Structure 1
Amino acid sequence: MRSIRGLLILSALITLSLLFPPSSAHATPGDLTCTENESVTYSPGLLTTPRPVDVSVHNVLSCTSLTDPAVISGHVQATIRGLTRSCSDLAASGKGSYTITWHTGHTSTIDYTRSANYVLGTLVIVESGTVTAGKFTGASTTHIVELANLNLPACLTEPGLTTAAGIGTYVFA
């Protein structure tokens, strides 16, 4: 798993450095990096057929910033209600927005585009975005999360797939 994560992070950093060279308007690539522990709950659980569910996400971030050393942690806490989803939607692409709350009390709202694929049985989600409001406004972001050990057989019967957990990385540039 580490080698996959390392390759994904390296790829994201190289892409960011090519697409967003350093300028006075943005931080340099890798200026703010965060590791995360992510947990997701689905209520009711996901099945093989789509149905309305509430999706709750909780991410705990541990960060390092070269230009703002005060930023050392943050979290994302969000619930999206009434999404029509199934287990087959886990690897779906899409767009969205969420807010990171930093331990300093500041927030960063990120608009993103999401892609996902299964890599050796692990769901790997890549979100490329931009900070549209709050701290780090204008910075580009890459968020990569690996949801390992998904209990996909749970999709076949009630209560369905009710939880997922993983680790990830954020890179702000």
Structure 2
Amino acid sequence: MNPTRFLGMGLACLPAVLVLTAAGTASPAGPTGHTLPAPVVQTCTGIQTETFTPGLNSTLRQVTGEGKGELTSCLPFGDSLPASGRVTSTLTGAMSCSGGTRTRKTTITWDDGGSSTLEESGGVESPVGGGRAAIFKGKISSGRFAGATTVTTRTLSPLPKPQCATEAGLTEVSGPLTVEITHVP
């Protein structure tokens, strides 16, 4: 076969190949395709006070705690998403003033009367840029947004606190709280 003729046949077939290739890459948004709903990230900020028994000191020891607070600003808000809520939590774990790990169960009672129960675990981390934060990751086990993933961050004040050097330890802390909920509507 003449090489020039063979090249000409390849070029003649090119439009058919392009049509078949384009047909195979059709957008899933067409009449037979399905699109998945995009996840919604809702970020709520506020403040929380936590109490510890026994108090946190320089020794890593088993501690239980309770927290109460308010989420005063949730974005995005509107439609069916709540704009604020009350927070109550219980926590347990091996903790000290300088760190440790803990699990926590938190209930958020939203401004419209609905609620979400979060089950999370985590510990103290030093985020990029300095500072310290207690960071918890988990899921919403029941209520609004059940199955959604969560990241809760409690910004911690600088240490050392004088109470950390005592046997009784630090029994109460208060500070900024951020709850990030990622859910599919």
Return 5+ residue gaps in structure 1 as ranges.
Answer: 1-21
Closer/same/farther in 2, CA of residues 141 and 114 from structure 1, 3 Å limit: same
Structure 1 counterpart of 2:126, one-letter code: Y
Among the aligned pairs, what percent are the same residue?
29
| Cα displacement (A) at 1:114 | 1.3
The equivalent residue for 2:181 is: 172
- The answer for the alignment partner of 1:146 in structure 2 is 155
Q: 1:131 aligns with which of 140, 156, 177?
A: 140
For 1:47, the equivalent position in structure 2 comes to 57
Aligned residues: 146
- In structure 2, the partner of 1:61 is 71
Superposed, which structure 2 residues align to 1:17-96 within 5 Å?
23-24=36-37, 28-30=39-41, 32-49=42-59, 53-62=63-72, 63-66=74-77, 68-69=79-80, 71-80=82-91, 85-88=94-97, 91-96=99-104
**Please, which of 94, 111, 118 is the counterpart of residue 103 of structure 1?**
111
- TM-score, length-scaled by structure 1: 0.67
Q: CA deviation at 1:60?
A: 1.0
Distance 1:159 1:39 in 2: 18
Residues 28 and 66 (structure 1), Cα distance of their counterparts in 2 relative to 1, 3 Å cut: farther
Instruction: From the CA coordinates, give the structure whose radius of gyration is larger.
Output: 2
Which aligned segments of 4 or more residues in structure 1 are displaced greater than 6 angstroms? none
Closer/same/farther in 2, CA of residues 23 and 131 from structure 1, 3 Å limit: farther
- Are the aligned partners of 1:145 and 1:169 in contact in 2 as well (CA < 8 Å)? yes
Which sections of structure 2, spanning at least 5 residues, go unmatched?
Answer: 1-34
Aligned-residue CA RMSD (Å): 2.9
Aligned to 1:114: 122
Classify 1:163/1:96 alpha carbon distance in 2 versus 1 (closer, same or farther; 3 Å). Answer: closer
